[in-house]
Amino acid sequence: MVEINGTEAAARVADVLLLFTDGPQSLGVSAIARRLGLSKAVIHRILQTLVDRGLLINDPATRGYRLGAAAAALGARALRDSRLRAVAMPVLRELQRATGETTTVSALVPGGRVYLDQVESTREIKMTVEVGRRFRLHAGSSSTCILAFLPPPEQEAVLAGELDALTCRTVTDPNRLRARLAEIRRLGYAHSDGERQDGAGSVAAPVLGFDGSVLGAVSVCGPGSRVDQAARERFVPLLRQAADEISRGMGWHGGLPGEAGQESA
């Protein structure tokens, strides 16, 4: 029998939990084992431990597992204690009033990014986002904006991975993505026209930390019929100002990335 050390065991438990942040609501033993490349026996033991501690629960409807109350409590506490969210929310409210559309803040996390919060548009037809779900970095304005300002080795790791077509507009060719990332770095913002979600339009700018590293992104999003090229041109100055204010709240003292400012460190 092969023994594993505590670090590897903890990593496996964490990997199982992280699957529930971007996959189906309910997952079975076989699906988890297949995605992580582990035996069903190992996965079953991990799942039972997580169920015993309330982090997962059995889902009788699917005969799988889904997140439990303890996981919800951890997520709620993480959001409540997030400095990025706390700094961003007043700025997002002002940005929403100025644009009339939904505004969001995302944070970079291992394997992608998550929405920390949003300020919804007051219009009857509007876009909303799923807070806490992990999204990959190759599609959508917030995702590609973050990806564009990551160090090159981290960018290449994403480009070498699976680039799923989420809609017919998703860019899945690594070379086309590289060119797009260079353009985002030059401009200091990214836009999307239905590439992550059909019918949606958005524009996003990076949020930087004290050392100039990218922490996440702030975005304006709405129905594609309203967030078109003309609207994006109106939103970009407001968005870049919001991203700069949030970045300064996170300790960054440099200029704005892109042609209208200085490149980040």
Which domains does the chain show, CATH number per domain? 6-69 (1.10.10.10), 82-249 (3.30.450.40)
How far apart CA 229 and CA 46 sit, in angstroms, is 49
pLDDT tens digits along 179-208 = 999 999 999 999 999 999 899 999 999 999
Question: Helical H runs in the chain?
Answer: 6-19, 29-36, 40-52, 69-81, 83-99, 141-148, 152-159, 174-187, 229-249
- pLDDT exceeds cutoff 60 at 224: yes
How far apart CA 15 and CA 6 sit, in angstroms, is 14
pLDDT for 6 equals: 72
- pLDDT exceeds cutoff 60 at 263: no
pLDDT for 262 equals: 42
Q: What is the mean pLDDT of the chain?
A: 90
CB 209, CB 251: distance < 8 Å: yes
Give this prediction's pTM. Answer: 0.78
Average pLDDT over residues 148-155: 96
pLDDT band at 4 (very low <50, low <70, confident <90, very high): low
pLDDT tens digits along 21-60 = 776 778 889 999 998 999 999 999 999 999 999 999 998 8
Higher-scoring residue by pLDDT: 244, 79: 244
Alpha-carbon Rg for the chain in angstroms? 20
pLDDT tens digits along 133-145 = 889 999 999 999 9
pLDDT band at 122 (very low <50, low <70, confident <90, very high): very high
